[in-house]
Amino acid sequence: MSRRAAAKEGSSSAYTSFQQKRRAQALDRQKNAREDKVQQLRTLALAAIQDDAEAMHEDTQQQPQNRQQQRHRRRGQQQQQQQELPQDTQLYGMDGVNPLQLGGSMMKAYFARQLMQPEWMSDIPQDLGSSWLVMPRPEGKRCLVISTGNYTYARSRTGALLLRFPSKLPGGGPGTSGGESCYCVLDCILQEQEQRIQHQHNQQQQQQRVGMDADMAPAGESTPSQPQQHSANGSSSSSSSGGCTFFIQDVLAWRGYSLVDCGAEFRLFWLASKLQEEAGGSSSSSSWSLDGGNPGPSHSHRFKLLPYWHATPDGLAAAARAGAAAAAAAAAAAGGCPGYVQDGVYLRHVEGHYSQGGGCTPLALLWKDAGCSRYLLDTDGDGVVPEFQQLVLAYQGPPTDGVATADEPPVVLGRLPQEFVQQMGPKLLRPGRLLRFSIRAGGLLFNADGSPAGADLAYEGPANQRRGRADVYTKVLFQWQARRQPLQLEALLAAAVAEQQQQGAGQQQGSSMADD
Amino acid sequence: MAAPVEVTQLLLHAQDPDANVRSLAEQKISQFQEHDYPGFLASLAAELSSLAKPADSRRLAGLVLKNTLDAKDESRKAELQARWGAVDPTLKNQIREALLSTLQMEPQDVRHTAALVLAKVAAIDLPRREWPNLISSLLANMSATPPHHGVRQATLETLGYVCEEMASINDEVLAPEQINMVLTAVVAGMRPDEPSDDARLAATTALQNAIEFAEHNFDNESERNYIMQMVCQGASARDERIRIASFTCLHEIAANYYAKLPAYMGEVFAISVKAINEDSEDVGLQAVEFWSTLCDIELDLADEDDPAEVNHHFIKAVVPHLVPVLLKQLTKQDEGQEQEETAWNLAMASGTCLGLLARTAEDAIVLQVMPFVTENIGKNTTAEDWRLREAATFAFGSILEGPSPRSLAEIVRQAMGFLLAAMKDPHPYVRDTTAWTIGRVFEFQHDAGNTDVPELITRETLPQVAQVLLGGLGDQVHIAVRVCDAIGRLAEGFTGYAGQSSPLSPFFKEIITNLLNASSRSDPSHGDSTRLQISAFEAINDMVRAASPDTLDTVGQLTPVFLQEIAKTFNMVTASGEQREKQAELQGQLCGVLQVIMQKLSEVEQYKAAVLQYADQIMETLLRVFGNQTCSVHEEAMLAVGAFTYACGRQFTKYLPSLYPYLKMGLMNHQEWQVCLSTVGVLGDISRNVETDLLPYCDEIMQLLIHNLGSNDVHRSIKPQILSTFGDLALVLGDSFEKYLETVKRMLSQAMHLSVMQAQSSADDDFLDYNNELRIGILEAYSGIFQGLGPGKADLQMKSEVPLIIEFANSIGRDATLDDTVVRNCVNLLGDICTVVNHVGPILRQARTNDWEKLLNYCSDSGHLLGDTEWAINAVHTAVEQAA
């Protein structure tokens, strides 16, 4: 009688059922742990799935036909974009986005939030000489480099995948892996092969730029007219099929150990010593480099740690001429370590953590003057400095119809006139849409305390939505000042000297962290 | 030609009271069987069919013959059947004739033995289309004149057994005319004017086995009416055995021809109520069982919700009429039945039936039962009123599952105080049932994680509840067992409680302490305290599972307590097999608690240390238990090891050398398949935690796993688990897995082939369930391999497998009903492939069909699957788009 056993849940078979419960619990545990494990690897491997056609340069050679078609298609898209404000393609508004691209853009959004966003220096910190580190900033694409699962991935500031290649970074190539926990994440500037020093403007390059779309570094912060290697006729090797250089600015994680919560000084110290360990500890050079490992067309990317100093007068001076020094050294070494064209300096507070999440941090600053940068003022697509300062702002939507910077919270610099909003219509003018403006005669407006109050804006047209976000206020301010009263190196030196004098003569020595 | 040998003495000796004589005879019998199988068969048949021989030796000859044709073990059975099949046809005929002739011979019990043997021979012969005249020979016995009651009875028995054998064979062995003739003969034997009650009983019993073949006859209204008439008349036969058998026939009819019942329900209701109210208890029990069976059927129908299957909702209709009848039976308790675990009488059967009615009729039951409950639950005027109180409580407890929580919430809330007070009832049976009912209240009405229902147990009410339950732990053992269960359900209801501290937290330590005391209680009033021990440990497990963060310190303190308890078991006296078994069982329970504790603590990073401080001790203890090996303990200790690995992480590596022999032993334990299965699972746990440190053992482990996968001795449930474990190993070993890759790829493609073939041939649910398990194993294995190898390697090594995998996905996509877990795993695997293999898009586009797209769409449309699979859907879409 089976019912007899079930009657009042008689526990004659209790042990078996309790044991069954534990088995089920164990199975659950195993199932979940298995899924977690595979999910970890998935997350890492996912880095490779999107933008492949755009960024995997081997495609250029393998499928020229296909590649050309794609380029053609994208060029078409871009033209359309410029002409009629196409369907929304910006990061967070998914409406109208082809769902096939959703994964990619979600992924990009994630990676785009990983890089620390510095502010532009509009006034000099009080503790510049004592609490800041300074590093030369090469021209190139800011990118996030992730080494994991025997591959190394480079992602642009907007999160797009630029390169995938094996490297000697821990976890970044065959023979380097120490298990799945072994991965590194670096903050780098990518200098593509044979990056031409000479500044050129011509029609051809314009076309190339049109072909760049998502890969394009946002205008402004990097050098807008920097020559790109996507040649229109596809004849020569693509931008990075050989010999790119990654200049390491910062480290987010090393061998699975996260450093984002450490101070900048510690991070850079850690990075320098770890890189030295990897290199066999033989060299004391700060310009340690890991070349690509096994020889081969796509294996020859180099990593190079940028030198840095405390922002003492000596340190600042050294950093400001570091690019020229490196170029000279490169020329002397004839094909050895690569030089670079400098674009200002990068300053970090010694105790500043690696700030993530997309917002700017005041503990990391960019500065440049005409002495250490070819482009003090932003240029347009043709490499020409426009008459009026250009800026990109995001439309905030009704009811305010404000246009604002990318800061958190956003700084509202103006409002769109009602008629303009109506004319564009809600389909084209969604909240978040990026618009290009220029600052006219009225200039930037300030409140009594110096905080921003607005600007005399003129609408120039839609911005490239793919750049991901509007300009930040400090950048606008920096450019504004640069056109009027640029902050010169001398002012920085003077501030550092004054600080030293204030603190007494005993500590004047600029402790160089590394030999140049 | 085998000549019969005289075996009478041998057979009689085999029944000798002297063990030496007996075992010598048994030995000779089995030698005879081995050395001269045909002669052996011939001799037994001759003995059985020889009137001159003693009934004892004839009967034993029949039983030995039957055992040469049938065995419980399936593979042994197939062997025996094949052996009979190969016997010389002339000898087979000779034996068949001997069996048929035995039916004609006195005495009746030898006829009965012959009937049993006949059915076993028929089970082998009929599917092979041998013995074509069996049925007609049997039917001739039925129509012989003058009728011989004994022969008719034995023939009806034979027909019943033959039908029973045929039912266990899936093929349609009997021709429709044969079935018709059998049924006609059987139903004729059931007529009220059948002069022999024994024959009528044999006919009624035979019908139970024949009913499932009577589909055609049940389609025909007049035949159906006739059969039903015979069965219902049998329910009032003068012989009680016939009445019982008739109700059993009704169960079978309901199970097979539910749709055809409406016309007969009026009469069936009448005879069943009459039986419950007036007949003997044994008949009444069968009548109650009819309604329980009907509930089972309607619950299944409601569950499957297949529009092709009609649900007459008989139960909803009968509730107002049947419930009063059943409630009356609840007061017919046996004195002291609470002491007897398996007590089964009208009161128990009616309560059980009431529970099933509640689950079937749901809310409709409440109003029918509650007046009885409220009227009787407090009755206390005469000494016998405990019956009313117990019955009322039992009735209340029975209807807690089924009706919506909403319809019961208020009633239960009001009853709580009463139930708690009743735990002090003077009558132990009332306290027993009250404890059971409180447990049911917690099980069905108490879920702190469910915000839709007002909380039953709050911080205000819990102190009283806890106090009463703790008191109950000291009551008689059978009551304490129920209290343990109630505590477990109480804790379970707090599992979903969010936050640092649950209302149970303040009582956590006290309850655990009291449960520990209860587990070690030795109660002279109750010989067997094992039940209480098992229940107390399980209640501790439930408490630990439900522990909120602020009680994890207490949980941590339990580790040394249970290590100590396990250590004590090694001092138990283990002279007899029974004592060793008892020791092993206790060790199993204790390891079980340890497993639950370690799993709970390992879930919270900072409490892993609470396990780790005893790490060496834990492992030593578990190894000692392994050394004491019997099946059950072995498994529980193995599962405990699995939980332990999560606390250790990579540190577990240091225990690998000492554990490995047992791991290996577990993987090789094909007989106790649960042990093997659990070991495979734990291997996965270990691999995830020690990662590449497992490498030195992997060659042998892989060999064992691959062997198991290919072996027929290995229970099929283990095989999907082994495939998943390949995935686990591939995931952590990375490149080092490459050397096994060729073999594993081959195993997986075989498994996929098998699964696709299985999916094509329509099969029963059990089969579909297994195929889904197999699919999950395959999918998990591939996911582990693709992700373990990573981009470059996977592209190089696995790309050739991709078309096969896509066909496999297509096969899944063609399922009529998609299984969530299978689909999720499959879509994720497709995502894995598109992530790590280049240019999968064209392969997807070129697949023979694109049923795989259905899987993606299924996930996209499903709210709960989308989150886990969105990345994969996007990865696949991207790959396909790029191929465009």
User: Quick check: A101 contacting B, CB < 8 Å?
Assistant: yes
In the 8-state DSSP scheme, what is residue A138?
Answer: E
Taking chain B, what is the end-to-end CA distance rounded to the nearest angstrom? 78
User: Quick check: A3 contacting B, CB < 8 Å?
Assistant: yes
Q: What is the pLDDT of residue B836?
A: 87
| Dihedral (CA of B116, B121, B126, B131) sign | negative
The alpha carbon of residue B143 is apart from the nearest alpha carbon of chain A, in Å, by: 36
* Residue in this structure with the two tokens 């600053």, named with its chain if needed: A365
- The model's confidence at residue A4, banded by pLDDT at 50, 70 and 90, is low
Query: Residue A417: helix, strand or coil by DSSP?
Result: coil
Tell me what ipTM this predicted complex has: 0.72
Residue A515's region, left for phi above 0, alpha for psi from -120 to 50, else beta, is beta
Contacts of B832 in chain A (CB under 8 A): 38, 42, 45
Q: Inspect the interface and report whether the beta carbons of B639 and A26 lie closer than 8 Å.
A: yes
Residue B851's region, left for phi above 0, alpha for psi from -120 to 50, else beta, is alpha
A194 pLDDT more than 80: no
Residue of A44, A292, A290 whose CA lies nearest to A180: A44
Weakest mean pLDDT among A12-16, A208-212, A414-418: A208-212
- How many angstroms separate the CA atoms of A369 and A124, rounded? 14
- Tens of pLDDT, residues B417-448: 999 999 999 999 999 999 999 999 999 988 87
The answer to whether the beta carbons of residues B474 and B467 sit under 8 Å apart is no
A120 pLDDT more than 50: yes
- Tens of pLDDT, residues B322-369: 999 999 999 998 887 777 777 788 999 999 999 999 999 999 999 999
Tokens of A273: 């010593």
CB atoms within 10 A of CB A232: 15
* Core vs surface per residue A464-488: b (16+ CB within 10 A) or e: bbbbbbbbbbbbbbbbbbbbeebbe
User: Quick check: B39 contacting A, CB < 8 Å?
Assistant: no
Q: What is the pLDDT of residue B168?
A: 76
Beta strands at A184-191 and A141-148: parallel, antiparallel or unpaired: antiparallel
The alpha carbon of residue B309 is apart from the nearest alpha carbon of chain A, in Å, by: 26
Give the amino acid at A67.
R
CB within 8 Å of chain B, chain A residues 111-150? 149-150
Q: Report the residue of chain A nearest B881, measured CA to CA.
A: A100
- Torsion, Cα of A427, A430, A433, A435 (10° steps): 70
Beta bridge partners of B56: none
- B878: nearest CB among A29, A30, A100: A100
Weakest mean pLDDT among A77-86, B265-274, B767-776: A77-86
* Core vs surface per residue B347-373: b (16+ CB within 10 A) or e: bbbbbbbbbbbbbbbbebbbebbbebb
- At A363, phi and psi to the nearest 5? -90, 5
Q: What is the pLDDT of residue B235?
A: 92
Weakest mean pLDDT among A169-183, A244-258, B754-768, B869-883: A169-183
In the 8-state DSSP scheme, what is residue A386?
Answer: P
Contacts of residue A430, Cβ cutoff 8 Å, sequence gap at least 6: A88, A93, A95, A395, A397
- Tens of pLDDT, residues B528-538: 668 889 999 99
- A7: nearest CB among B352, B643, B877: B352
Does this model's pTM top 0.90?
A: no
- How many angstroms separate the CA atoms of B28 and B23, rounded? 9
Q: Inspect the interface and report whether the beta carbons of A26 and B681 lie closer than 8 Å.
A: yes
User: Quick check: B678 contacting A, CB < 8 Å?
Assistant: yes
User: Quick check: B779 contacting A, CB < 8 Å?
Assistant: no
- Tens of pLDDT, residues B706-726: 999 988 888 888 999 999 999
The alpha carbon of residue B872 is apart from the nearest alpha carbon of chain A, in Å, by: 9
- How many angstroms separate the CA atoms of A193 and A294, rounded? 18
The alpha carbon of residue A102 is apart from the nearest alpha carbon of chain B, in Å, by: 7
Residue of A117, A121, A173 whose CA lies nearest to A148: A173
What does pLDDT average to over chain B? 89
Beta strands at A151-156 and A161-165: parallel, antiparallel or unpaired: antiparallel
- Tens of pLDDT, residues A23-59: 888 888 888 888 887 776 677 666 544 433 333 333 3
Residue of B200, B256, B198 whose CA lies nearest to B224: B256
The answer to whether the beta carbons of residues A162 and A240 sit under 8 Å apart is yes
CB atoms within 10 A of CB A43: 13
User: Quick check: B286 contacting A, CB < 8 Å?
Assistant: no
Weakest mean pLDDT among A358-367, B349-358, B562-571, B689-698: A358-367
Q: Inspect the interface and report whether the beta carbons of B351 and A8 lie closer than 8 Å.
A: yes
Weakest mean pLDDT among A99-108, B2-11, B707-716: A99-108
Size of interface A-B (CB pairs under 8 A): 178
CB atoms within 10 A of CB A89: 18
Q: Which of B359, B688, B874, B876 has the most A C-beta neighbours within 10 Å, making it the best mutation to test the interface with A? A: B874
Q: What angle in degrees, to the nearest 10, is found between the helix axes of B428-445 and B405-422?
A: 150
- The model's confidence at residue A193, banded by pLDDT at 50, 70 and 90, is low
Query: What integer is the mean pLDDT of A217-232?
Result: 36
Q: Inspect the interface and report whether the beta carbons of A179 and B691 lie closer than 8 Å.
A: yes
- The model's confidence at residue B826, banded by pLDDT at 50, 70 and 90, is very high
List, in sequence order, the alpha helices (H) in B761-846: 765-798, 802-813, 820-836, 841-846
CB atoms within 10 A of CB A208: 17
* Residue in this structure with the two tokens 């007897």, named with its chain if needed: B340
- How many angstroms separate the CA atoms of A43 and B866, rounded? 16
Q: Which of A1, A3, A181 has the most B C-beta neighbours within 10 Å, making it the best mutation to test the interface with B? A: A3
The answer to whether the beta carbons of residues B338 and B383 sit under 8 Å apart is no
- How many angstroms separate the CA atoms of B735 and A501, rounded? 60
Give the amino acid at B194.
E
Q: Inspect the interface and report whether the beta carbons of A149 and B790 lie closer than 8 Å.
A: yes
- How many angstroms separate the CA atoms of A54 and A508, rounded? 51
Tokens of B75: 């593979």
- How many angstroms separate the CA atoms of B116 and A33, rounded? 54
User: Quick check: A24 contacting B, CB < 8 Å?
Assistant: no
Q: Inspect the interface and report whether the beta carbons of B341 and A4 lie closer than 8 Å.
A: no
The answer to whether the beta carbons of residues A89 and A472 sit under 8 Å apart is no
List, in sequence order, the alpha helices (H) in B14-54: 19-35, 37-48
Beta bridge partners of A135: A346
What does pLDDT average to over chain A? 70
List, in sequence order, the alpha helices (H) in B570-655: 577-602, 608-612, 615-627, 631-648
Give the amino acid at B193.
D
List, in sequence order, the alpha helices (H) in A292-334: 313-320, 322-333
The answer to whether the beta carbons of residues B534 and A15 sit under 8 Å apart is yes
Q: Report the residue of chain B nearest A105, measured CA to CA.
A: B874
Q: Which of B340, B644, B782, B878 has the most A C-beta neighbours within 10 Å, making it the best mutation to test the interface with A? A: B878
Query: 3-state secondary structure string, B646-675?
Result: HHHHHHHHHHHHHHHHHHHHHHHCCCCHHH
The alpha carbon of residue B755 is apart from the nearest alpha carbon of chain A, in Å, by: 21
Query: Residue A403: helix, strand or coil by DSSP?
Result: strand
Q: Inspect the interface and report whether the beta carbons of B289 and A151 lie closer than 8 Å.
A: no
Tokens of A428: 């084209």
Q: What is the pLDDT of residue B748?
A: 94
* Core vs surface per residue B47-67: b (16+ CB within 10 A) or e: bbbbeebeeebbbbbbebbbe
C-alpha pair distances (Å), A211 with each of A203, A240, A379, B33: 13, 16, 19, 89
